[in-house]
A and B are shown apart, each in its own frame.
Chain A
Amino acid sequence: AQSVAQPEDQVNVAEGNPLTVKCTYSVSGNPYLFWYVQYPNRGLQFLLKYITGDNLVKGSYGFEAEFNKSQTSFHLKKPSALVSDSALYFCAVTPGGAGSYQLTFGKGTKLSVIP
């Protein structure tokens, strides 16, 4: 069975500093990996994904993530945090290949950017 771990329930970072939100996964075969963001009282919004190719993936709002197969990680990063980045972030995984439908989410990490 596939699983996703987000080891930090909350991450606090000062505005302008770099941020990292951690994610590790367990899945058979080559994974497809995703990051989503959820603002209060809203649904989840897609940020970026890794399917294949370059291990560094760039997404919306200046976010990027690095796929590390040996460490089974897919950490979310941003060089300079904004207060508006404060939200709940979810990592998700699905097994790669045809017929891979089930998207499994981590528990989420609350990011607080302090002015």
Chain B
Amino acid sequence: DAGVIQSPRHEVTEMGQEVTLRCKPISGHNSLFWYRQTMMRGLELLIYFNNNVPIDDSGMPEDRFSAKMPNASFSTLKIQPSEPRDSAVYFCASNQARRNTEAFFGQGTRLTVV
């Protein structure tokens, strides 16, 4: 398996633009997590899905952020409109929650909003 695949690896956008981050989890995993990493706040859980259903989105900072998982092999995190304070590295991770296995992380998307 190629692991968790995230795209793009780097994204630079202007304030006010819409940004969409993409994630393909490991095949067979039934839970998917979106995290945001910044120097100030460390690693924050934004939202997680189980069997494609959002279970907890309490970490989503505000309505500008939305996440979807239309099927077991694809998820998106969208920011609209983007702001400079959204600049961070966004990670996607997946695991088989039923067995409480470790989560596997993608390489991350480094987002810069100017």
- Verify if A63 is at the interface (C-beta below 8 Å from B): no
- Verify if B25 is at the interface (C-beta below 8 Å from A): no
Q: Using C-beta atoms within 8 Å of the partner chain, give the interface range for chain A.
A: 20 to 34
- Verify if B102 is at the interface (C-beta below 8 Å from A): yes
**Given A43-B91, A49-B102, A94-B100, 14 additional A-B pairs, CB 8 A:** A36-B105, A43-B106, A43-B107, A44-B91, A44-B105, A46-B103, A46-B104, A90-B43, A101-B55, A101-B97, A103-B93, A105-B42, A107-B42, A108-B43
- Verify if B82 is at the interface (C-beta below 8 Å from A): no
Q: Contact between B100 and A32 (Cβ–Cβ < 8 Å)?
A: yes
On chain A, the residues within 8 Å of B31 by CB distance are: 101
- Max chain B Cβ within 10 angstroms of own Cβ: one of A46, A49, A90, A100: A46
* Contact residues of B: prevailing secondary structure: strand
Q: Contact between A103 and B55 (Cβ–Cβ < 8 Å)?
A: no
Interface flags, B66-93, vs A, CB<8A=1, else 0:
0000000000000000000000000101
Kindly identify, within residues 22 to 46 of chain B, every residue whose CB is under 8 Å from any CB belonging to chain A. 31, 33, 35, 42-43, 45
Interface flags, A89-115, vs B, CB<8A=1, else 0:
010001010111111111110000000
* Chain B residues with a Cβ under 8 A of chain A: 4, 31, 33, 35, 42-43, 45, 48, 50, 55-56, 91, 93, 95, 97-98, 100, 102-108
On chain B, the residues within 8 Å of A90 by CB distance are: 43
Question: Nearest CB to that of B49 among chain A residues?
Answer: A101
- Verify if A87 is at the interface (C-beta below 8 Å from B): no
Choose among A32, A42, A100, A105 the residue that contacts B43 (Cβ–Cβ < 8 A). A105
Kindly identify, within residues 41 to 60 of chain A, every residue whose CB is under 8 Å from any CB belonging to chain B. 42-46, 49, 51
- Verify if A34 is at the interface (C-beta below 8 Å from B): yes
Q: From residue A84, how far is it (CB to closest CB) to chain B in Å?
A: 19
On chain B, the residues within 8 Å of A46 by CB distance are: 102-104
On chain A, the residues within 8 Å of B105 by CB distance are: 36, 43-45
On chain A, the residues within 8 Å of B95 by CB distance are: 103
